Amino acid sequence: MAESISALKNGEVEIEYKKSSQIKEIWRRLKRNRTAVVGLFIISFIAIIALLAPVISPYNPYEQNLNQRLLGIGARGHILGTDEYGRDLLSRLIYGARLSLIVGFCSVAFGLVFGVLLGLLSGYYKRLDGIIMRIIDILLAFPGVLLALAIVSILGTGIVNVIIAVGIWSIPTIARVVRGTVLYIKEMDYVTAAKALGESDFMILFREILPNCISSIVVYSTMRLATAILSAATLSFLGLGAQPPVAEWGAMASTGRNFIFQAPHLTLLPGFAIILIVYGFNSLGDGLRDALDPNLKNV
C-alpha cells in the first residue's frame, strides 16, 4: 500500500516537472522571437496604464474647460493637448485603453464560450457536424464588419451590444479552429484507449481532447483580441459603439475628424493607439504560434 502511494506521488511529481519544463521551453522559444517580445511589452505597458488609469491620469477625462479647447501638444500643462471641449487628451487616451481592453477581452471570451463548445461537438459527433458547420458557413458568408453592423443595428448602440456583436462574429472562426483540432486529436491512441476503457463522451471531450486544444485556442484568441479591439473601434467610429462622452479610441478619432485641419492630433493620436495595440496582439499571437508549434521543436 505504501509503495503504491509512493509511486502515485512520484508520478504526480514527474507530471508537474514535465509541465514546468514545457512552460520553460515555450517561454525560451518565445523570448527568441524579438517581434513577439516587443508585442508582449506593448500589451503589458498598455495594460498597466489601463489598470492604473485613476492614479496616473493627470486630469479627469470628462472634465470640460471651454477656455482651453483645442490646445496643441504640450500647451498649458496638457502634454497631448485638449479636445473640442477642453478635455485633456492624454487622460482620455489612458481611460480609452481600459475600455478597449475590456471590450476586446469580453467579446473574445463571449466568442470562446460558444465557439469552443460548437467546435467540440462538431468535431466529435459526425451527426452534428453537418448541421453545425452549415450554420457556421452561413455566418462566415457575411463580411465580418457587416455582420457586426447588422447585429448592432438590431440590438442598438452601446458598449454591451458591441461586445455581443463582436463576440458573435468571433464564434464561427473559433468553432472552425477547434473543430479542425478535434478532428485530428480524436484519432489519437490515447482517445481510442479512453473509449475502450468506457469513459463517457463528456469526460473524453473535456478531459482528453479539450486540454490538447488549448494551444490552438490561446494562439487564435490572442490574434482575435486584435481584431475585436479594431472592430469595436470601427463601430464606435461609425457612431454605433461607445457614445459621447465615453472615452473610447474609435469614438475619439471620429469626433476629431471635424477638426482634422485645426487640430489633427485629435484623430491621429487615438488612431496611433489603436494601431499600436493591434500590432502588439498580432505580434504576440505570431510568436505564441511559433513557440507552441510542435513542428518547430527541433529548430
Q: How far is CA 91 from the centre of its chain?
A: 24
Name the average pLDDT for the chain. 85
Alpha-carbon span 214 to 195, nearest angstrom: 21
Domain ranges of the chain: 48-63+72-296
Output the pLDDT for position 16. 52
Q: What global pTM score does this model have?
A: 0.84
- The residue among 83, 63, 60 whose CA lies nearest residue 71 is 83
Alpha-carbon span 119 to 121, nearest angstrom: 6
DSSP code of residue 88: B
Output the pLDDT for position 11. 45
DSSP code of residue 262: T
Cell of 79: 502634454
Q: What is the pLDDT of residues 81-117, one digit of tens each?
A: 899 899 999 999 999 999 999 999 999 999 999 999 9
Q: Which residues pair with 82 in a beta bridge?
A: 88
CATH number attached to the domain at 48-63+72-296: 1.10.3720.10
Q: What is the pLDDT of residues 148-188, one digit of tens each?
A: 888 888 888 888 889 999 998 889 989 999 998 899 888 88
Strand, coil or helix: 82: strand
Where would I find the H helices in the chain? 2-32, 34-51, 53-56, 89-124, 126-140, 144-155, 159-185, 189-196, 201-203, 214-237, 249-256, 265-292
**144 touches 169 (CB < 8 A):** yes
Counting as low any pLDDT under 50, the low residues of the chain are 1-15, 17, 296-299
Cβ-based neighbours of 72, under 8 Å, separated by 6 or more: 81, 263, 265
Q: Is the peptide bond before 245 cis (omega within 30 degrees of 0)?
A: yes
The C-alpha angle 112, 249, 83, rounded to 5 degrees, equals 165
